[in-house]
Amino acid sequence: MKPMIFDSHAHYDSHQFDEDRHELLLSMQENGIGTIVNCAADWESLTEVVEMAQCYPHVYAAVGLHPDEVGELDEERFAFLKQQCQKEKVVAVGEIGLDYYWDTASHDVQKKWFVRQLELAKELDLPVIIHSRDAAEDTWNVMKEHAQGLRGVIHCFSYSKEMAEEYVKMGFHIGIGGVVTFKNGKKLKEVAQVVPLDRILLETDCPYLAPEPFRGKRNSSLYVPYIAQAIADIKGITYNEVVAQTAKNAKELFL
C-alpha cells in the first residue's frame, strides 16, 4: 500500500480556492493526501479554519495570528484567539512569528505578540507553527528565551543549514515546501540534506509557493508529491520512505 501524505501547512480559506474548495478537499484522499493542517493567518481565518476542520474529517486547524496581522491584536481579540485555540480539532498555535520582509507591524509589536502566542501554546499544551522571514536572529533569540519545552515546526524554512541544526537540537521540526524544487533553492536543498528525515515535515503553504513544474501557479496539497520526490532525490532514499516518515512525524507532533 502506498503511504498517505501529510500536508502540515495549507491555507484553504484563501479566496484563491473559492471556485473549487469543496471538490478539491473531497478529492484529496483518493489522490494520496491523507491529512491536512489548515493554518490561520489573518483575523477572519481564526474562525474559518476551525469551521473547515469541522466539515472535513481529514482537515485539522492551526489557530494563531501571522506577524503581518498582529497590529490588529488587543487583549479582547487575544481572548477570542485563545477561545478558538480550544475548539475541536485545533492541533497547533500558528502561524506565529516574525516577518521583517513585509514589516507591516513594528518589530516590538511583532515580538510582543509572538511571545504571547508562544506562552499561550505552553498554557494549552499545543505545538506551534513558526513563520520567520528575514528575521533569523530575533526569531532565534525569542525562541531561545520563550520556546524551551515547546514542540513545533519552523515552517517554510528559509535560513541556513546551521540554523536548521540549531532548531533540531532545540527539539523542533523543519517544514519543507515547494522551494526545495526550485533551481535557485540551493540553501533549502542543503537544509533537506542535513536535517534528519525524522525531523522533516512536508508542507505546501498553498495557495502559495507551488513546486516545479507549477511554479507561479496556484498551489494545492495535490502537488506535495513533487516536494517529497525532491527530498528523496537529495537524500538518496525512496519516495515512499519520505512520505511515510514525514507523515509519522506530523502525526506524532499534531494528532
Residues that bind Ni ion (CB under 5 A): 205
Closer Cβ to Ni ion, 68 or 232, answer by number: 68
- Cβ of residue 75: shortest distance to Ni ion, in angstroms? 25
Closer Cβ to Ni ion, 177 or 225, answer by number: 177
Closer Cβ to Ni ion, 68 or 205, answer by number: 205
Closer Cβ to Ni ion, 204 or 249, answer by number: 204
User: Measuring CA to CA, which residue among 230, 191, 231 is closest to residue 212?
Assistant: 230
- Cβ of residue 11: shortest distance to Ni ion, in angstroms? 6
- Cβ of residue 252: shortest distance to Ni ion, in angstroms? 21
Closer Cβ to Ni ion, 34 or 207, answer by number: 207
- Chain-centroid distance, C-alpha 222: 16
- Cβ of residue 237: shortest distance to Ni ion, in angstroms? 27
Ranked by CB distance to Ni ion, the top (closest) residue is 205
- Cβ of residue 143: shortest distance to Ni ion, in angstroms? 18
